[in-house]
Chain A
Amino acid sequence: MSNTSENPKPSSSSAKMTLKTSDNELFEVEEAVAMKFCTVKQYFEDEKDSDVAARGSTTVIPLPNVHSAVLATLISYGKKLPQSNAVADNHEEEETKKKERKKYEQGLLKNLMPGELLDLISAANYLDFKEGLEFFNQALADHIQNKSVEYVRKFFGIKNDYEPHEEEKYREEYAWAFEGVDED
């Protein structure tokens, strides 16, 4: 997926853009997918306004907060989303695409380490990639659903800086929130 050419040729079928990651890797991405990253979209539109000559083909958009491995996953997820400019499929095609996407999503989450998930969320947030953020945030929520406070602390390396009596006070005063929740 990464392409180290400095001057990508404009494709005849669909416009492509080049994104440069924090570790200096270049990604050539179709405009339709790149536009799902609203930060990129904004940058592109700003560039277009300021410098007509440099429009599209030679613009390299820098993403200093995103590592290449993370961007690769986000681009791959973005490609699987229904494209806004695609021709409307009939019902059957739509169903097959949906199934494919579900399968891809499951595969993606299965092998994902929590650290990687946090990287993806952080990057999706920086890129303002709404669909990606929705998906990965939901994935994280699914993981901690019904898990105890201790579990979540341990899992995400959160240091408990409450005094024991403070914590006890919370548990007592807000007792309802601790009722009937399965402790893992």
Chain B
Amino acid sequence: MEQAVVDNDVGVGVETDRLSELQIEVLQHILSFLPTKQVFQSTLLSTTWRHVWTTFPTLKFDSTNKRNLEDVKRIKANFYKFVEKTLRIRHHQSERSQIKNFELMDGLPHSKSMSRVDRWISFVLESDVEELNLDFRYSQIDYILPHAVLFAKSLTALTLYSCKLESTCCGDINLPSLKKLSLSFVYADDQIFRNLVSGCPVIEDMKFGNCRGIKSMKFFGLPKVMAITVTKNDGLERLELALEASNLYYLCIDQGSIPELNLHLLPCKNLKELIIDTPNVTEKWLDEHLSGLPLLENLRLRVCSGLERIKLSSRHHLKSLELWLCKNLVEVMIDTPKLCRLLYFGETAISFSLNALGLLKAEPYGTWDAKKIEFLSKMRNSKVFKLNIIDFKDVIIPKELRETLPSPLYNVKHLKLSYEKPIYKGENPSCCKFLPFPCWRHCLKTVKIDSLKGYTDEELLYKYFSENAKTLEDFQFHVGGIA
């Protein structure tokens, strides 16, 4: 076995250099866990390490200066020199090594700096890049993506943040290997969108977020697509989804109310997760889609103002349902055994009926009233219950109510209060002196309080609980934790 060497500077080391003898792929794998700067520094270990860097498949360059050092100009200049040299050397290698993965985050100060980036990208494209990630969020100008990127045969994943796509005079986009496309804060137009849809035959994941300039999006064809996300794209007027016999398993639409929305989801039999926020969703729509999409497990409905009633029965297979701010919702009836997660954020003056749930998270807001207590009481069968209350004083249920209504969660065994600035999440059922069932004071065994920010008086809380909870076994108070 290897003899150990003890060195004052490094502690126990290794006598003979066996690290350098490992296969280059192994060394590159080890270095892949380290930041680019350190990967480069490996060049200096010994001359035999030079080729580890010059053939390193991943290049990630980030010019943002996190440590806020003073000499910003010089550091930037050094950064450009570094990238330029690295790419040039690889470009001129006799046996060009592939740059599999290229990431660049740079703040371009003016349009003259675009040509430099253009040059780098062309080097990278010539090295058969597969995953390209360009982030120009800190730029003063809109970087215009070179057309060659949209014709790159080797590209399998393209992520763009804050740049501009311009229509080519020769039209089409051709990305035969592209599987993943993610555009954020990108300026494009309808023609480019159409070309993307038709030019990516094997695309699996498409994401359009906060893009500008696109008025109409129609998703059709796309035989291999599995996930589509369309969120907060400014100025979008028309969105249509017409996929046949598709592999789509994830769909997220977050566009608010668009003038024209046509989602033909029923053919997407593999749909597993759906997030949607459109007034088109009605009780009928819901019933149709829940029955017609048997594999649907997670459903999130946000601001669905067309929804008045929700009725889930045992023939529905949903596992998780989230309802956010559906303001016209009046009645919810859930009787489905498979549902193990329900998140509700909205008014509680609604009729709520629940059956057989494993986990429940409910966020009713507003002041306490009889309806809310009744709402809470419906939750009593859940194994874990989290109640988020916005207003500090909402923690205490008004005295009058405490005396007239039965305690909603009388057999709660573990109480976990989380205090977040300024929201105080907690749950304080009322006491039960006059009632047949024992209340929390008699059942409560453990209290865990996670304090994120803000003022919480541990002494007071401990005193309150130890005085009131007769069976309290464990009281924990964490500062800085998150529930």
Name the contact of A116 in the complex, choosing from B2, B41, B81 (C-beta under 8 A).
B2
Known: A116-B2, A170-B43, A175-B81. A121 touches B37 (CB 8 A): no
Asked whether any CB of chain A lies closer than 8 Å to the CB of B468, the reply is no
Contacting residues of chain A (126-181) with chain B, CB-CB under 8 angstroms: 133-134, 137-138, 140-142, 144-146, 148-162, 167, 170-171, 173-181
Chain B 12-48 near chain A by CB (<8 Å), digits 1 or 0: 1111111110110010011111101110111111111
Asked whether any CB of chain B lies closer than 8 Å to the CB of A39, the reply is no
Known: A154-B13, A175-B81. A142 touches B2 (CB 8 A): no
User: Quick check: B41 and A157 within 8 Å, CB to CB?
Assistant: no
Q: Which residues of A contact B20 (CB under 8 A)?
A: 156, 158
Q: Residue of B at shortest CB range from A174? A: B82
User: Quick check: B17 and A176 within 8 Å, CB to CB?
Assistant: no
Asked whether any CB of chain A lies closer than 8 Å to the CB of B85, the reply is yes
Name the contact of B1 in the complex, choosing from A69, A122, A162 (C-beta under 8 A).
A69
Known: A161-B46, A176-B37, A177-B40. A155 touches B67 (CB 8 A): no
Name the contact of A118 in the complex, choosing from B2, B3, B33, B41 (C-beta under 8 A).
B2
User: Quick check: B82 and A162 within 8 Å, CB to CB?
Assistant: no
User: Quick check: B26 and A125 within 8 Å, CB to CB?
Assistant: yes
* Minimum Cβ distance to chain A for residue B56 (Å): 13
Chain B 435-463 near chain A by CB (<8 Å), digits 1 or 0: 00000000000000000000000000000
User: Quick check: B26 and A137 within 8 Å, CB to CB?
Assistant: yes
Q: Which residues of A contact B44 (CB under 8 A)?
A: 149, 160, 162, 167, 170-171
Contacting residues of chain B (219-240) with chain A, CB-CB under 8 angstroms: none
* Minimum Cβ distance to chain A for residue B460 (Å): 33
Known: A119-B2, A162-B47. A151 touches B26 (CB 8 A): no
Asked whether any CB of chain B lies closer than 8 Å to the CB of A113, the reply is yes
Chain A 105-131 near chain B by CB (<8 Å), digits 1 or 0: 000000001111011011001000000
Q: What count of chain B residues pass the 8 Å CB interface test?
A: 48
Asked whether any CB of chain A lies closer than 8 Å to the CB of B75, the reply is yes
User: Quick check: B85 and A174 within 8 Å, CB to CB?
Assistant: yes
Interface centre among A144, A150, A170 (most CB of B within 10 A): A144
User: Quick check: A152 and B45 within 8 Å, CB to CB?
Assistant: yes
Known: A151-B10, A157-B13. A113 touches B29 (CB 8 A): no
Asked whether any CB of chain A lies closer than 8 Å to the CB of B4, the reply is yes
User: Quick check: B14 and A114 within 8 Å, CB to CB?
Assistant: yes
Q: Which residues of A contact B36 (CB under 8 A)?
A: 177
Q: Residue of A at shortest CB range from B80? A: A176
Asked whether any CB of chain A lies closer than 8 Å to the CB of B69, the reply is yes
* Minimum Cβ distance to chain B for residue A102 (Å): 18
Task: Report whether over half of chain A's contact residues are helix, strand or loop; otherwise say mixed.
Answer: helix
Asked whether any CB of chain A lies closer than 8 Å to the CB of B9, the reply is yes
- In angstroms, Cα B38 to Cα A178, docked, is 8
User: Quick check: B31 and A141 within 8 Å, CB to CB?
Assistant: yes
Known: A159-B17, A162-B44, A170-B44. A176 touches B30 (CB 8 A): no
Asked whether any CB of chain A lies closer than 8 Å to the CB of B79, the reply is yes
User: Quick check: B46 and A177 within 8 Å, CB to CB?
Assistant: no
Q: Which residues of A contact B47 (CB under 8 A)?
A: 161-162
Name the contact of B26 in the complex, choosing from A67, A133, A177 (C-beta under 8 A).
A133
* Minimum Cβ distance to chain B for residue A177 (Å): 4
User: Quick check: A121 and B26 within 8 Å, CB to CB?
Assistant: yes
Q: Which residues of A contact B3 (CB under 8 A)?
A: 115
User: Quick check: B1 and A157 within 8 Å, CB to CB?
Assistant: no
- In angstroms, Cα B42 to Cα A174, docked, is 13
Q: Which residues of B contact A144 (CB under 8 A)?
A: 34, 38
Q: Which residues of B contact A119 (CB under 8 A)?
A: 1-2
Known: A160-B45, A176-B78. A137 touches B33 (CB 8 A): yes
Q: Residue of A at shortest CB range from B33? A: A141
User: Quick check: A118 and B38 within 8 Å, CB to CB?
Assistant: no
Known: A116-B2, A149-B44. A181 touches B37 (CB 8 A): yes
- In angstroms, Cα B37 to Cα A177, docked, is 4
Known: A115-B1, A177-B82, A178-B37. A160 touches B12 (CB 8 A): no
- In angstroms, Cα B36 to Cα A176, docked, is 10
User: Quick check: B30 and A156 within 8 Å, CB to CB?
Assistant: no
Name the contact of B67 in the complex, choosing from A151, A153, A180 (C-beta under 8 A).
A180
Q: Residue of A at shortest CB range from B78? A: A176
Identify 30 residue pairs between A and B in the complex whose beta-carbon atoms are under 8 Å apart, listed by A's number: A114-B14, A115-B14, A118-B14, A118-B19, A121-B22, A121-B30, A125-B23, A125-B26, A137-B26, A137-B29, A140-B30, A142-B33, A144-B38, A145-B34, A149-B42, A150-B9, A156-B13, A157-B5, A158-B46, A159-B17, A161-B47, A167-B44, A170-B43, A174-B40, A175-B78, A176-B37, A177-B36, A177-B41, A179-B69, A180-B75
Q: A153-B45, A157-B19, A177-B36 are in contact. List 10 more A-B contacts (CB 8 A).
A: A69-B1, A118-B22, A125-B23, A142-B33, A145-B34, A156-B13, A161-B46, A177-B40, A180-B75, A181-B37
The 8 closest A-B pairs by CB, nearest first: A115-B2, A141-B33, A176-B78, A176-B82, A177-B40, A156-B19, A175-B78, A155-B13
